[in-house]
Chain A
Amino acid sequence: MKPGDDKDLHAVFSRWKVDLPLPPNLRENVWRRVAEVESSRWAFLDLGRTWLGMAFSRRSFIVSYVSGLVMLGLLAGLWHGRSQQRQVQTLLAERYIQTVASHQRLP
């Protein structure tokens, strides 16, 4: 079939009428769907807030949460303290060598 041979088809289409009635409350439904899409942007936040509210209503969750934070503090203190301790030990070892081998530093 070539593009020029569609005269009959065109005639059929021009006679064709849709008699189906529109669904009831179409306009309201369309606007409701639009509002839903817009509000879904905040839905994630609402979900998070709801989850937090539910989680913090349980005593066991609060205990785990606070314990986790304390554990983080302990580990950070241990890591920082040890690195500081190593640094001071290296510094003192260097100082000892500089004291006993002071003549090696003279020109």
Chain B
Amino acid sequence: MKRALIASILGVALAVAAYAGVFYTTTAPSRSELCCATPELAWLTNEFKLNDAQFARISTLHGAYLAKTKLRCQKMMSLNASLRASMGKTGEITPEIEKGMNEIAQLRADCQQEMFRHFMEVSHAMAPEEGRRYLTWVLGQTLPCQSGSNSVCPLMTH
């Protein structure tokens, strides 16, 4: 019985070590992605197999796009706030309010256009096959075919 006990303790200790080793190795890519400054770009690099030059180009595009988006979002939020204040004050849709609404809609459309332009630029910076895969995926995420669904439109897969 003493031998059984010793073998069990040894076996369990080795099993725990094996578990920890395999777990640590398997999750190493995720850990390295999460530790960097832009985890989403690290993920993009691993997912779409970017080389250093592609990563550098996409990082520049990403940074420039985010800076522009930030400005647009700030403008949209300030327009939303002034629209809310005007509507609360007048209690009806005045020509100024209509103008503000149109301005927000235009800004939103601009953002949408800018986003799709960015997707195209990013896909062109990747290897052709990976670029196509990226575009299919990203359009499926941002342009779902049905409400509440992330399914990719059949047109996008061609």
Give the distance to chain A from B21, nearest Cβ to Cβ, in Å: 7
* Complex contact A73–B15 (CB within 8 A): yes
Q: Which residues of A contact B12 (CB under 8 A)?
A: 69
* Complex contact B27–A81 (CB within 8 A): yes
Q: Which residues of B contact A69 (CB under 8 A)?
A: 11-12, 14-15
Q: Is A80 an interface residue (CB 8 A)?
A: yes
Q: Which of A57, A70, A81, A107 has a CB less than 8 Å from the CB of B25?
A: A81
Contact with A along B63-102 (1 / 0, CB 8 A): 0011001001100110010000000000000000000000
**Chain B's interface: helix, strand, loop or mixed, by majority?**
helix
Give the distance to chain B from A52, nearest Cβ to Cβ, in Å: 5
The range of chain B's interface size is 35 or more
Q: Is B112 an interface residue (CB 8 A)?
A: yes
A2 and B54 alpha carbons, distance in the complex (Å): 110
A65-B11 contact in complex given A53-B1, A88-B34, A95-B40, C-beta closer than 8 Å: yes
A104-B18 contact in complex given A70-B11, A82-B26, A88-B27, C-beta closer than 8 Å: no
Q: Is B125 an interface residue (CB 8 A)?
A: no
Instruction: Pull 10 A–B residue pairs with CB atoms less than 8 Å apart, ordered by A.
Output: A56-B1, A56-B3, A66-B11, A73-B18, A77-B18, A82-B26, A88-B33, A96-B44, A100-B118, A103-B73
A93-B112 contact in complex given A65-B11, A77-B18, A103-B73, C-beta closer than 8 Å: no
Give the distance to chain A from B87, nearest Cβ to Cβ, in Å: 14
